[in-house]
Amino acid sequence: MTEIASPQANPLLAGLKMRRPPDPCALTIFGASGDLTQRKIMPALYSLAMRGLLPPRFGIVGVSRTEMGVDEFRERMRRTVLDHARDEFRTDVWERLSEAICYVTADFGVEGGEEPLVECLNGLDERRGTAGNRVYYLAVPPSAFDDIVVALGRSRTTEGWTRLIVEKPFGRDLTSAQELNELIRGHFDEDEIFRIDHYLGKETVQNMLVLRFANGIFEPIWNRQFIDHVQITVAESLGIEGRASFYEAAGAVRDVVQNHLLQLVALTAMEPPIDFAAESVRNEKVKALRALHTPGPKHVVRGQYGPGYIEGEEVPGYREEEGVAPDSQTETYVAAKLFVDNWRWADTPFYIRTGKRLPKRETTIAIQFKRAPHPPFEVDEEGGLRPNVLLIHIQPDEGVSLAVGAKVPGQGITIRTVHMDFLYGGSFRMGLPEAYERLILDCLLGDATLFTRADEVEEQWALVDAMVAPWRRDRPHFPNYAAGTWGPPAADELVHRDGRSWRRH
């Protein structure tokens, strides 16, 4: 057996300590012939292998209904690594990784459908020393969860540990999420369940906690006394990219607001945890989610894009996309004003928005501080003096920017806003790991800090259900914003009513 080892030409960065290596284990990927496996999971495993972060005794089992041999599957995975991995392709790394790869054709909807997988995993225990430790990754549509979870529950043994990674969407509303939680917890303990949200694997999202709790200059002013409001934007320039069947059932509120956006709100608003153990961090996030006040209809805006232009190229409207009904009422844009009803944030609005076919792809958290009470200076009319803003860039360029007032060179004292910037790539001079690399490694290590707990998911769905309940009573005039713009006019009015405006990135 060849162990998965780090190539000597690729040492870890000097001065950075590696966490303990993961235990020996076998990772089973359900939906191995699907897009997620090819674009994210396998490239992430290759990058982890490149850096010597996989356990030396490791196995990968691809599972799907597609008939193919192991050599064909390995070749498909090699091509997907070539196409999608962030690292250069190295034959020596790939050969070591490919030796660990197996493939099983299985249908878990039939009696005994799990037997080929059980046989394969037992074989890996003998050949590669995976010690009965199992990670199961459900990279399949939610409709396939039931059969797979029940079959895995039947085949569990007392040898080794077991972990289950579940992709979103985790339910379609509160009731379905509760039913799914009940199903999975009938076969797995809560500490064995890893509900994945790839946004939580991004370096800058994790840096939110460090920024707040490791820097004495921020925590004392992270409250209603000093912060005027918070804006969180998840903007995409792309359309639905051939995912009409999924998007028609989900819409922007279920695709982004329920998970990504509310997680970012929770991380921004949460209280300091007693330590950074998984349960301590997740406890504080749940408290923040429970404190969210359900926004009324006047505080929620939805939209749908029509034809327009993105970077000078004409693009169709949502209703003109293939597979979309010509009278579709599915929202591609949502904006809302939220309040966190607790001592720290009372009366401080959190403005959130997300949309398809906006001018650019960008995810940011903007913390806008209150203005100085009486600045005794002349303000440069051209540049202006805007409020101090701490801008956290999550994608595409991860980093942090602080807007401050500075004197314009020359006679007199004229003030203009300037920016102090920190970019990960420039400061650490290293490629940032993809979110899936961090999350898969954390699961192998048994660290659930960046994964959502059952009560988090249910709190998020409770808020979203309350937001969308009034939508059943009306049929808005869609489309109401052109592709390439920043959303419907009502979204601007939402913040203008408060004397504020959206940031233009």
For residue 251, report the phi and psi dihedrals to the nearest 5 degrees. Answer: 75, 175
Element (H, E) at 336: strand 333-340
Question: How many helices (DSSP H) and strands (DSSP E) are in the chain?
Answer: 15, 20
Give the separation between CA 334 and CA 254, rounded to whole angstroms.
10
Per DSSP, the three-state class of 407 is strand
Per DSSP, the three-state class of 28 is strand
DSSP 260: I
Q: Which amino acid is at 5?
A: A
C-alpha atoms less than 13 angstroms from C-alpha of 355 in its C-beta half-sphere: 28
Give the separation between CA 458 and CA 178, rounded to whole angstroms.
7
Residues 6+ apart with CB under 8 A from 229: 348, 349, 350, 351, 368, 498, 500
* Pairing between β-strand 300-303 and β-strand 333-340 as defined by DSSP bridges: antiparallel
Most distant pair of Cα atoms in the chain: their distance: 84
Give the separation between CA 234 and CA 2, rounded to whole angstroms.
43
For residue 271, give both structure tokens. Answer: 């209280």
DSSP 9: T
| Residue 348: closest CA among 272, 281, 292 | 292
As a three-state string, the secondary structure of 351-398 is: EEEEECCCCCCEEEEEEEECCCCCCCCEECCCCCCCCCEEEEEEECCC
Query: Residues 49, 4: contact at Cβ < 8 Å?
Result: yes
Respond yes or no: is residue 260 known to be catalytic.
yes
Degrees to nearest 5, angle at CA 433 with 29 and 101? 30
The H-assigned helical ranges of 383-453 are 424-428, 435-445
Element (H, E) at 162: strand 162-166
DSSP 417: E
| Residue 123: closest CA among 103, 94, 93, 97 | 103
Give the separation between CA 308 and CA 157, rounded to whole angstroms.
56
Point out the catalytic residue in the list 84, 187, 229, 260. Answer: 260
Q: Which amino acid is at 189?
A: D
User: For the CA atoms of 28, 110, 157, 60, what is the dihedral angle to 10 degrees?
Assistant: -10
Give the separation between CA 319 and CA 63, rounded to whole angstroms.
35
Catalytic residues: 260
